[in-house]
């Protein structure tokens, strides 16, 4: 995944999981950490609307564009925090991660590796408008409750 997609995926998964009353504190803390970091370093990027509806494709596109404009994908600290959110969600709120799946748009990369995605319903991986110079590996995708691979 490209860095902006990693950050956006962390925000969506964190919002979907971290704002539920039953969410584990580690998920809430990780999500709050990425939000605080973005607000401190990139005041022009607002995640409030995305947080209100993390499933909205339109809201994801706005946040993606804002992150790209400030070159957030080059921020190592932000990428570390994004990975912390994804790890926390995967470990403590996998049902939220399952509802998100992976959606990649307008990707240009040397290679793409997508692994171990579980989605309760719908599409596990959606890639549109991709230019990949090297390998594309998609493995371990499960839909429909994790029983079958897509």
Q: What is the pLDDT of residues 9-59, one digit of tens each?
A: 999 988 888 667 666 888 889 999 999 999 999 999 999 999 888 888 899
- Tokens standing for residue 15: 């919002």
Among 59, 84, 100, give the residue marking a domain's end: 100
The whole-angstrom separation of Cα 81 and Cα 128 is: 26
Q: Using alpha carbons, list the distances in angstroms from residue 4 to 72, 78, 82, 100.
A: 7, 10, 10, 16
- Using the predicted structure, report yes or no on whether residue 122 has a pLDDT greater than 60: no
| pLDDT at residue 2 in the model | 87
Q: Using alpha carbons, list the distances in angstroms from residue 78 to 17, 41, 54, 66, 84.
A: 19, 9, 19, 14, 10
Residues 32, 106, single domain; the answer is no
Residues 16, 32, single domain; the answer is yes
Residues 91, 25, single domain; the answer is yes
The whole-angstrom separation of Cα 2 and Cα 16 is: 21
| pLDDT at residue 148 in the model | 41
- 92 vs 121, residue with greater confidence: 92
* Structural domain span for residue 139: 102-150
Tally of structural domains, the chain: 2
pTM of the model: 0.64
Mean pLDDT of 51-73: 92
């Amino acid at each position: 995944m490209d860095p902006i997609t990693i950050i956006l995926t962390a925000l969506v998964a964190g919002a979907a999981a971290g704002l539920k009353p039953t969410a584990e504190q580690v998920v809430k803390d990780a999500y709050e950490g990425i939000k605080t970091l973005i607000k401190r370093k990139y005041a022009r990027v607002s995640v409030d609307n995305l947080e209100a509806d993390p499933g909205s494709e339109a809201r994801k596109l706005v946040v993606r564009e804002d992150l790209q404009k400030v070159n957030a994908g080059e921020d190592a600290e932000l990428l570390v925090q994004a990975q912390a959110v994804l790890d926390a969600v995967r470990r403590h709120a996998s049902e939220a991660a399952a509802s998100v799946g992976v959606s990649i748009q307008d990707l240009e990369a040397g290679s793409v590796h997508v692994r171990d995605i579980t989605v309760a319903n719908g599409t596990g991986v959606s890639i549109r408008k991709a230019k990949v110079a090297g390998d594309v590996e998609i493995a371990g995708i499960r839909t429909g409750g994790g029983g079958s691979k897509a």
